Amino acid sequence: MKDRSMSSIGLILIAVVLGTIGQLCFKAGTQGAKVSFDLSIIRFFLTPYIALGLSCYACSTAVFLKVLTQEALSYVYPMISLTYPLVLLFSAWIFKEPVPLIRWLGVFFIMVGVVFVARTS
């Protein structure tokens, strides 16, 4: 097993947090919005929550690219799925979305897969 630098792990976690915040901003920005694929979509992208979400995604992508200079894609990309439990948790907490047990189980199994990837890379 390759020794992972704390730098890589920290950067992966930063990318995960930024991606999670981006998703939460997207959800907040779309609540009550009417989206159509005409010129008004440009105004939609410039609304505060959507713009913040896009900015978080851009920063997450920049961090992800930096990590790819240090680690294998086959290791790093599965780690990004750590956003799944965070988005599920915050969706239930912030937006009061119902999250059925089967969805939690599905995400649990994804996380088990991430542990396998982390240990075998």
Specify the pLDDT at position 121: 58
- Residue-level pLDDT at 1: 40
Q: Which helix (H) or strand (E) holds 9?
A: helix 6-30
pLDDT of amino acid 89: 95
What the block records as the tokens of 102 is 């089967």
Q: Along the 121 residues of the chain, how does pLDDT read in single tens digits?
A: 455 677 888 999 999 999 999 999 999 999 887 777 776 778 888 899 999 999 999 999 999 999 999 999 988 888 899 999 999 999 999 999 999 999 999 999 999 988 888 776 5
- Token code pair at residue 97: 């979305």
Spatial separation of the C-alpha atoms in residues 85 and 116, rounded to whole Å: 17
Helices (H), the chain: 6-30, 40-45, 48-68, 73-80, 83-94, 101-120
Closest by CA to 106, choosing from 87, 121, 85, is 85
**DSSP summary character for residue 71:** S
For the entire predicted model, the pTM comes to 0.86
- For residues 119 and 75, is the Cβ–Cβ distance under 8 A? no
